[in-house]
Amino acid sequence: MRCKCRPDENIEEEEPQLLFRKDAYHYVLPSHLIAQHPLPKRDESRLMVLGRESGAIQHASFKDLRDYLREGDLLVVNESRVFPARLIGRKPSGGRVDLLLLQPCNAEEASAAGQQADEVQGREWECLIQASRRPKPGQEFGFEHGLQGEVTGHSDGGVWRVRFNMEGRELMAHLERYGRVPLPPYIRRGRTSREREETPEDRDRYQTVFARKVGSVAAPTAGFHFTESLCESLERRGISFGRITLHVGQATFLPIRTGDIRRHRIRPERFSVEEADAERMRKARREGRRLVAVGTTVARCLESLVAERGRVEAGQGWAGLYILPGHRFQAVDALITNFHLPETSLLVLVCAFAQREIVLRAYAEAIRREYRFFSYGDCMLVQ
């Protein structure tokens, strides 16, 4: 189905139920607009500034972000760090297997105990597996430099449990040395459509400058556009920073497969907020200053906290809020976000923050002006 929105079209909602149809969040993107590499400089990406109520659009460079923010704004960023979560191995038959490690099977218990991802001692992990045939419990895989895995079971959502012969810091050290950057599947640089060959720059550029706590298998990409010098420039303007950690997992990139988006389910993702940052955010709210979420992960973390606890509080937990049209945002006043894939929960979240027709009109304009899309692409400020 082709996108119904065009730059010169007056988009109107046909009926309330349209908001909950998956195909209402579809659009057609020319493949050459999918960014395959980051720009030489992070803050030279393009910035679309979108009025969430008026639909007014301005075009700028991200390095000029401070011209579109307000003195006193608090930018909330995600400190999660991506680890090399992708492994290429072989079955005993010699067939190739491609694993993406999602999280340790005992992550919930470890999080409750205050452990970080590189401190988790379990050998068993939840994984996504690509192979020529469906895996079976008991099947073994071999990887580089002595790492071995065995399938122990199957969970919902196409997730498999795999037990490795390494655990904890030994396994994380092995991944850091021999694992691959978990580039999304639309980044294709190999000779075949399956290949996602990383370059040396990916090790640096598929992280944000805020990345500090290991645990994500996909990057919080809205943070890609910031540099240290830009952050200093923003602070001199009276714009400050707060921090949360949300480890990006399957919930962020799993496509919606149900025709009615309300039937889609997202898996909770681990988050933590330190007391100094929680108080910084509460103080901003008391003083009437804006909280600007840098990325959908931050928005979902903050909105989950307020929905469950009534305000932003310090602590650890699981962000399980699925934000749909009709959600009343109680924590986030503005949103910095990349351009997302069609028919995904991320695009639905942005459409819940603004209006669906306004967001899709902005996407159509971005396509017309040849913005770069997805992880290594350009971004929007929605306010």
Place of tokens 């986030």: 332
The CATH number assigned to the domain holding 344 equals 3.40.1780.10
- pLDDT tens for residues 351-378? 999 999 999 999 999 999 999 999 999 9
The answer to the question of residue 266 being in a domain is yes
What residues have CB less than 8 Å from 109, skipping those under 6 apart?
none
- For the chain, the domain total comes to 2
Closest CA to 140 of 97, 105, 171, 169: 97
Q: Under a CB-based contact definition with an 8 Å cutoff, are residues 213 and 116 in contact?
A: yes
89/146 same-domain check? yes
342/232 same-domain check? yes
The answer to the question of residue 190 being in a domain is no
128/268 same-domain check? no
Range of the domain at 167: 85-180
Q: Under a CB-based contact definition with an 8 Å cutoff, are residues 99 and 141 in contact?
A: yes
144/267 same-domain check? no
The answer to the question of residue 283 being in a domain is yes
Phi, psi of 178 (to 5 degrees): -115, -15
The answer to the question of residue 11 being in a domain is no
227/251 same-domain check? yes
210/109 same-domain check? no
- pLDDT tens for residues 41-97? 999 999 999 999 999 999 999 999 999 999 999 999 999 999 999 999 999 999 999
- Higher pLDDT pick, 189 / 291: 291
Q: What is the pLDDT of residue 10?
A: 41
257/240 same-domain check? yes
Q: What is the pLDDT of residue 126?
A: 94
159/283 same-domain check? no
- pLDDT tens for residues 210-264? 999 999 999 999 999 999 999 999 999 999 999 999 999 988 878 899 999 999 9
The answer to the question of residue 327 being in a domain is yes
Q: What is the pLDDT of residue 122?
A: 76
Mean pLDDT value across the chain:
91
The answer to the question of residue 188 being in a domain is no
Mean pLDDT, range 199-212, rounded to an integer: 95
99/237 same-domain check? no
- pLDDT at position 318 over 80: yes
267/313 same-domain check? yes
The CATH number assigned to the domain holding 140 equals 2.40.10.240
Q: Under a CB-based contact definition with an 8 Å cutoff, are residues 33 and 367 in contact?
A: yes
Tokens representing 168? 């904890």
